[in-house]
Amino acid sequence: MTRHTSETPQFYLTAPSPCPYLKGRQERKVFTHLVGPQASALNDILTQGGFRRSQNIAYRPACENCRACVSVRIVVDGFRWTKSFRREMRKAAYLVGHATPPAPSSEQYDLFRRYLDTRHANGGMSDMTVLDYAMMVEDTHVETMVIEYRRRSPDTFITRRGDGPLAAVALTDRLSDGLSMVYSFYDPDIEAPSMGTYMILDHVERAKAMGLPYVYLGYWVDGSKKMAYKARFQPQQHLGAQGWREVDADNGE
């Protein structure tokens, strides 16, 4: 794991680079290291302030002329279970998620590679090696976990875990006020349920069972089609200049 001598966070600004969400725009990020005994507390504060975590780095957009990236969190209490959400959960009844410590495995990496090669072949993570993946999972000083989703088995009622090949994986941080979905991936050959939707719904249920009020989804990007799905999960709050404010959307359901 990466070591850092200072317990006082120092913030840095990246050079401009092409925006991965909005064509023709440049992005910059401000970032700091999450290390040492105060890392979890700092991760809490920064996530609540709109930062995201990647390994032992916390970052947030700091673009000069753009504010399209908006931090989003689902309000667990009163979550609206639409008809489509209930259908997805019924389709996923054969799956069960089991939380484990943040330890990578060859099975996880094989699924990760299939997911990237099928869904994000030209993305920024497409060239990640098995070592890169291992660092993504285990290079952390914060309270985090890996949730592995598999088929239910006759012993699931006792063991609380599934059996057979991995169907999906979520890397998730536990915060003082919620769960933060750091990264997730799934078997691209699964047609039902919609695995991305299912994992978010599963996190809503997990947060409720743990007595946590929020599920953090990262950034919703105004104008980005691949981020539009996040608006479906209501009620939700967006982080703005006045702090977290509830924002509603008409889902047509």
Euclidean distance between CA atoms 156 and 64, whole angstroms: 51
Mean pLDDT of 157-166: 81
pLDDT band at 252 (very low <50, low <70, confident <90, very high): very low
Q: 162 and 52 share a domain?
A: no
Question: Which of 69, 85, 114 is where one domain is finished?
Answer: 69
Residue 1's pLDDT band (cuts 50, 70, 90): very low
Range of the domain at 20: 12-69
Same-domain status, 102 and 81: yes
Is pLDDT of 158 > 60? Answer: yes
Tell me: pLDDT of 196 over 50: yes
Q: Could you tell me if 103 and 171 lie in one domain? A: yes
The pLDDT confidence band at residue 53, using thresholds 50, 70 and 90, is very high
Q: Is residue 253 part of a domain?
A: no
Taking alpha carbons only, the member of 221, 237, 197, 222 closest to residue 73 is 237
Cα angle: 116, vertex 119, 123; to 5 degrees: 65
Same domain, 62 and 97: no
Total residues belonging to the chain: 253
Query: pLDDT per residue over 8-18, tens digit each?
Result: 789 999 999 99
2 found inside a domain:
no
Q: Which residue has the higher pLDDT, 158 or 110?
A: 110
| Residue 233 DSSP code | S
Distance CA 115, CA 135 (A): 18
The pair of structure tokens assigned to 160 is 């609380």
Last residue of a domain, one of 25, 40, 69: 69
Q: What's the token pair of residue 174? A: 């536990």
Q: Considering the domain boundaries, does residue 4 fall inside one?
A: no
Check: CB of residue 233 under 8 Å from CB of residue 197: no
More confident residue, 185 or 6: 185
What pLDDT is stored for residue 153 in this prediction?
84
Same domain, 33 and 120: no
Q: What is the CATH number of the domain that holds 190?
A: 3.40.630.30
Domain boundary residue among 69, 91, 109? Answer: 69
Any residues with CB less than 8 A from the CB of 68 and at least 6 apart, and which?
21, 22, 221, 222, 223, 224
Q: State how many domains the chain has.
A: 2
Considering the domain architecture, whether residues 95 and 53 belong to the same structural domain is answered as: no
Residues 58 and 103 in one domain: no
d(CA 187, CA 173): 22
Same domain, 141 and 183: yes
pTM: 0.90
Both 133 and 166 in a single domain? yes
Q: What is the mean pLDDT of residues 124-136?
A: 90
Nearest to 66 by CA among 21, 103, 35: 21
Same domain, residue pair 239 and 149: yes
Chain-wide mean pLDDT for the chain? 91
Q: How confident is the model at residue 162 (pLDDT cuts 50, 70, 90)?
A: confident
What does the pLDDT look like over 57-79, one tens digit per residue? 999 999 988 999 999 999 999 99
